[in-house]
Amino acid sequence: MTNKARVVRAFVSARYLRRWRSRAAIERHQRRRLARQMRFLRSHSPYFSGLMAGENSPQWANLPLMDKATMMANFDELNTVGLVRDEALALAIEGERKRDFAGDLGGCSVGLSSGTTGHRGLFVVSPRERDVWAGTVLALTLPRGKSVWGHRIALFLRADNTLYEAVNSRAVTFEFFDIYADMAENVGRLASYKPTILVGPPSVLSVVARLAAEAGFVLAPERVISVAEVLDDVDRGRLEKAFAVGAIHQLYQCTEGFLGHTCERGVLHLNENIAIIEREYIDERRFVPIITDLERRAQPIVRYRLNDILVDRGEPCPCGSALAALERIEGREDDTLRLRRKDGEFVDVFADMVTRAMVYAEGFAEYRVVQTGPSRLVVELDNLDERARASVTEELATLSAALDFERPTIEFREYRTDLTKKLRRVEQAWGDHESV
């Protein structure tokens, strides 16, 4: 059951009391919270108790990295609320299949990861964490300068969860729209609901906008928030126009935590007051984040290496916050193509480079690019006429010349929308260990 007072305290703290105007203040806060978190885990998590046993136990910075495989393999010993992996997984899968997400386990919210990696993952959130999460998310996402009373938030998601019901009240209401359901019916219900805030993956929001326009429904949300998928410039511009908003906001939220939010100036910030985010740099600005959550205890997240690629903004945000600012979330490491050069070596081609090339091409709206061999690409387009194919071929040839890789063989296919899966505009479906 939701503790409304706890939600309100988290909301007030995140929205009004802590503005994080200096790096020194952020780092002092992180040190205090980290020390407290590690003391708790040493006492309550068998996994971390074992890692930190003895007089010469490793410091936090020397603890081994975690990933989804590690999390799932050590789930029973790692969590601090006595949950068993197989029971939690069974509950999460049952909820997915029955489209009924009301079930908790031991009072905790349990859900199935919707990540794009091949490992099946779980997330577990305690009632306290659920309340703090709800208050913090609302504080950082509700429009400023207006009353917070009366917001109607529409969630277009693959799975509902009791997390989203934590703050349903007369002040703020949530309505879940199941993307497995008929989308035309969803949009009709959405028009009646009249959301002030619309949340969903960019690919789903694009379908919502199209179906609403076709049905003559007028949707006028105050804010549109992108989640779950990478928001590229094409989708951003399209959605801003469709919903008549000045900017599309983002929530960088995943199984591993609430990691980022868009400020009122439209810049994406990392939530360094909630998590320590180490950086494994790929080049001068691109990095892979390693997450230590300073709040979550039911399922600890400590030095968890994501396979996302983030791009540092390189300068402070004009909003005045000292929280690290990002230029963009570029995608996942496995969205980076590895294309063969003429000398037989390989060059990394980041997803953003391919996306830019597709932006320059003409004659289509929706696309995907999948690498299927060392110099082979499958390009899916929603319009396969000669003009579109020629334009894509030309732009990818220009990119190959600029980065000095072999001009790829391109197989064109029809683009098909599947709202039940996260959209990955660029994907590598080939490894250099495979045969040509």
Whole-structure pTM value: 0.83
Is it the case that residue 118 has pLDDT exceeding 50?
Answer: no
Both tokens assigned to 139: 């504080």
Q: Does domain 336-428 have CATH number 3.30.300?
A: yes
Residue pair 224/185 in contact by the 8 Å Cβ criterion? no
- Whether the predicted pLDDT of 377 surpasses 70: yes
> Domain 1-330's class?
alpha beta
Phi, psi of 43 (to 5 degrees): -90, -25
Question: What is the average pLDDT across 87-93?
Answer: 87
User: Percent of the chain having pLDDT more than 90?
Assistant: 54
Q: How far is CA 21 from CA 72, 270, 294, 316, 322, in A?
A: 38, 14, 19, 11, 5
Q: Span 271-291, mean pLDDT?
A: 95
In the chain, what percentage of residues exceed pLDDT 70?
93
Dist. CA 357–CA 16, nearest whole Å: 43
Q: What is the pLDDT of residue 117?
A: 46
Beta-carbon contacts of 405 under 8 Å, excluding residues fewer than 6 positions away, are: 339, 340, 341, 342, 346, 347, 349, 375
Higher-pLDDT residue of 330, 97: 330
CA 251, CA 258: separation in Å to the nearest integer? 8
- For 42-68, what is each residue's pLDDT tens digit? 999 999 999 988 777 788 999 999 998
- The pLDDT of residue 162 is above 60: no
- For 119-149, the pLDDT digits (tens) are 567 889 998 998 898 889 888 888 887 777 8
Give the confidence band of 116 by pLDDT, cuts at 50, 70, 90. very low
Query: What band does 320 get if pLDDT is binned at 50, 70 and 90?
Result: very high
Q: Is the pLDDT of residue 435 over 60?
A: no
Q: What is the pLDDT of residue 329?
A: 92
Q: What is the rounded distance in angstroms from the CA atom of residue 223 to the CA atom of residue 143? A: 8
Query: How sure is the predictor about 410, in pLDDT bands with cuts at 50, 70 and 90?
Result: very high
The one-letter amino acid at 142:
L
Mean pLDDT, to the nearest integer, of 199-216? 92
Closest CA to 140 of 294, 267, 292, 291: 267
Are β-strands 304-305 and 286-293 bridged in parallel, bridged antiparallel, or unpaired?
antiparallel
Q: In the chain, which residues fall in CATH 3.40.50.12780? A: 1-330
Q: Is the pLDDT of residue 432 over 60?
A: no
Chain mean pLDDT for the chain: 88
The arithmetic mean of pLDDT across residues 284-312, rounded, is 95
Task: With CA atoms as reference, report the closest residue to 144 among 24, 239, 19, 51.
Answer: 19
Task: Tell which wins on pLDDT, 291 or 254.
Answer: 291
CATH 3.30.300 residue window(s) in the chain: 336-428
Amino acid at 140: L
